[in-house]
Amino acid sequence: MAPVDSTGWSVSGRQRSGDLLHAGLALALLLGVWSVGGLEVSTGKINFIEAMNGSTVLLPCTYASCIGIKNLYFNWHYNDNGTLDRLCEGMIPTEGVEPRVNVFHDRVDFVGSSKGNNISILLWNITFEDGGDYICFGRNPKEKNRNHSSTFTLYVVDEMKEIDTTLTTIIVSVVGGVIGLIVLFMVIKALVKHFLCKDDEKNKECLVSSSGNDNTENGHTGAKADNKGTPKA
């Protein structure tokens, strides 16, 4: 019979409960690390671009994984009204090793590098038919084939829209004018302070010279009076 403590629980039962608790905590920790360190691909904070017909555009994409990569597979597809047209695909053996890439579109160039976790492509001489969504996909076997994708949207136009800068010009002019007035006020204040200090110095000099003259005159008058008051022998 298993020993029982004062609470009525058997010692072996408490040990099993503690083991289960430790195992649960370990599993939760592993799941947390897994969710944080999982593979992510990104087409940037601004995931769209507007470009002119006939120009060349960069379709950006980068990948990241906190636990590293091994035989990372990636590809680019164009979403043609629900049909995914494959543009290129590649595989990066490990970190720092350049990928092996196959391109399936005559106007696509792979310009990425594993040194910058970059799997971007260039699309040359775009046409209006090239407008739409481009999907960057990655899969990392090191994370049990965890995969992730991100979409970049291309808008093709015949001419770029002119940006109205009137409001910006007004704001800059007002701010510049206020700054100019502040500087002018400070310059005038400094000049006035300078001239006032000069006037104060002149007034002090006048007071000192006037006081010296009064003292000299008083001394001469006293001497004459003393001479007159001296009795003759």
pLDDT of residue 27: 44
DSSP strand pairing (100-103 vs 83-94): antiparallel
pLDDT of residue 170: 83
pLDDT tens per residue, range 85-132: 999 999 999 999 999 999 999 999 999 999 999 999 999 999 999 999
pLDDT of residue 205: 66
Give the C-alpha distances (Å, rounded to integers) separating 25 from 11, 18, 144, 211: 21, 11, 22, 93
Q: Which of 118, 135, 73, 60 is nearest to 100 (CA)?
A: 73
Mean pLDDT, the chain, rounded, equals: 80
pLDDT of residue 177: 84
pLDDT of residue 181: 85
Q: Confidence band (pLDDT; 50, 70, 90) for 18?
A: low
Percent of the chain with pLDDT over 90: 52
pLDDT tens per residue, range 36-83: 568 999 999 999 999 999 999 999 999 999 999 999 999 999 999 999
CB-CB contact of 137 with 74 (8 Å): yes
Amino acid of residue 216: T
Reported as type and span, the H/E element at residue 220 is: helix 166-228
Number of CB atoms found within 10 A of residue 13's CB? 13
> What's the pTM?
0.58
Structure tokens at 137: 């996909």
pLDDT of residue 63: 97
Return the SS3 of 20. Answer: helix
CB-CB contact of 41 with 135 (8 Å): no
Q: What is the mean pLDDT of residues 28-41?
A: 60
* Domains of the chain by start residue, with CATH: 40-157 (2.60.40.10)
Structure tokens at 190: 């400094």
